Amino acid sequence: MIDKDKPQPDSQESSPSGTGDRAAAERLIRQAGRYLRLLHITHEAIISFDEDCRIVIFNQGAESLFGFREQEILGTPVYELLCPRFRSAEKHRLDVLARIARDNRIGFHTNRITCRHRGGKRFPAEISLSQTRLPGGRLFTLVVRNATEQVRAEEELEHAAHHDELTHLPNRSLLNDRLVAGIARAQRYQRKLGVVYLDLDDFKPINDLHGHETGDCLLQAVARRLSDTMRQSDTVSRVGGDEFVVSLEHIKGEDDALAAAMKLDRALRQPFSVLGKQFNVSASIGIAIYPEHGRDPATLLRHADEAMYAAKAGGGEPRLYAQ
C-alpha cells in the first residue's frame, strides 16, 4: 500500500532506462565535442555533410584549401565545391559518388576529382569518404587532399618517357604512336602521310672541335627551327644523336611531301648563332609516303631512312624512296 503523504520519486529520474538514455546522450555530446575539436586542429581539409549532401561541418583545413569561410558554406550542397565544367561533364560520376555516399558502409577512396577554389582556380584532389551513423541519420565525412603536386610529378614522368631529354621533342616511342594514329586517319579519309628523315651533315666535327656543350646547344637550336618551320599538325621528333623525323599529315601526295622537305632544307641552311659562334648546317633528307612506300610505321621509317642515305650519297636535294 502506497503512502500518499510520502513524496514519491520522479518516475523518469528513477527509471533505469531514463538514466541510461541520459548517460548515452551525454557520452554522444562529449564524443561530438572531441570530434569537432579534432576536426578543427588538424591540417587536413575535412568536410562533413548530411544525407541531403549539404555541408554541416567545414574545418579550417577546408577553409584554407577552398577559400570559403565555414559560415558562408554551411548548408551548401557539397558538389558546389566541384568545378562547374566537371559537374556537367561528369554528372554520371557524381551520381555514382552520391549513391556510394549513401550506401557504402566502410568508406572509399578516389582521386582526380576536380575541385574549385573560391577564386575560380581549379585543382585536382584526392578524396576519402566515410560515414557515421547518428541517432537522427547519417553523417558523411570527406577528407580532401590537394593533388596538384602529385599530378605535376606524374606529368613530368609522362613527358620524360615520351620526349627527348635534350630537345624536348617527341622521341621515337611517341613518334611511333603519332604515326599509328596518323596512318589510321589517312586510311579513314583516303589521304596520304609523309615521313621525312633528316640526318645533319658533318655534325661530329662540330662536337669534336667545339665541345659537346656547343653541340648540344646547336641540336636544341635545330630542333626549335624545325618545329617553327612545320605546321602544328605535323610531328617533329628526334630519333637519334643528330637524326630527326617529321611526320606530315594532310598532304595530297609526293609533291606536298617534297615541298615540305625543301622548306626544311632551306630553313636549316640559314646560319645558326650558338654560344657566340656562327654555324652553317645542312642535312641529308629522305622521304617515304603512305601507302605507296609502306603501310606501317616501321616500314615507312626504314624506307625514309634508306632515301636519306641515298640523298647523302648523292650530295643533293631531298629524295623520295625509290622502290
Per-domain boundaries in the chain = 36-151, 163-320
- Cα 274 to Cα 241: distance, rounded to the nearest angstrom: 18
Other Cβ atoms less than 10 A from the Cβ of 79: the count is: 15
Distance between CA atoms of 277 and 286, rounded to whole angstroms?
A: 29
Task: Say if residues 61 and 42 touch (Cβ distance below 8 Å).
Answer: yes
Question: How much is the average pLDDT of 98-124?
Answer: 68
Query: Any catalytic annotation for residue 242?
Result: yes
Q: What span, in angstroms and rounded, lies between the C-alpha atoms of 80 and 75?
A: 11
Specify the pLDDT at position 141.
82
How far apart are the C-alpha atoms of 53 and 103, rounded to whole Å? 13
DSSP letters of 105-174?
SS-EEEEEEEEE-TTS-EEEEEEEEEEEEETTEEEEEEEEEE-HHHHHHHHHHHHHHHB-TTT--B-HHH
Class in CATH terms, 163-320: alpha beta
User: Are 129 and 142 spatial neighbours (Cβ–Cβ below 8 Å)?
Assistant: yes
CA angle, 82 then 86 then 87, to 5°? 70
Q: Which helix (H) or strand (E) holds 183?
A: helix 172-188
Read off the pTM.
0.67
Considering only residues 105 and 232, tell me which one the structure prediction assigns the higher pLDDT. 232
C-alpha cell at 104: 557504402
The active-site residue, picked from 242, 255, 265, 296, is: 242
For domain 36-151, the CATH superfamily is: PAS domain (3.30.450.20)
Give residue for cell 556510394. Answer: 100
What pLDDT was estimated at residue 315? 78
Over 90: is that where the pLDDT of 41 sits?
A: no
pLDDT at 11: 43
Report yes or no: 158 and 147 within 8 Å, Cβ to Cβ: no
| Cell representation of residue 196 | 621525312
Instruction: Answer yes or no: is pLDDT of 121 > 60.
Output: yes
294: left (phi over 0), alpha (psi -120 to 50) or beta: left
pLDDT digits (tens, 9 = 90+) for 285-320: 999 999 999 999 999 999 999 999 999 998 778 999
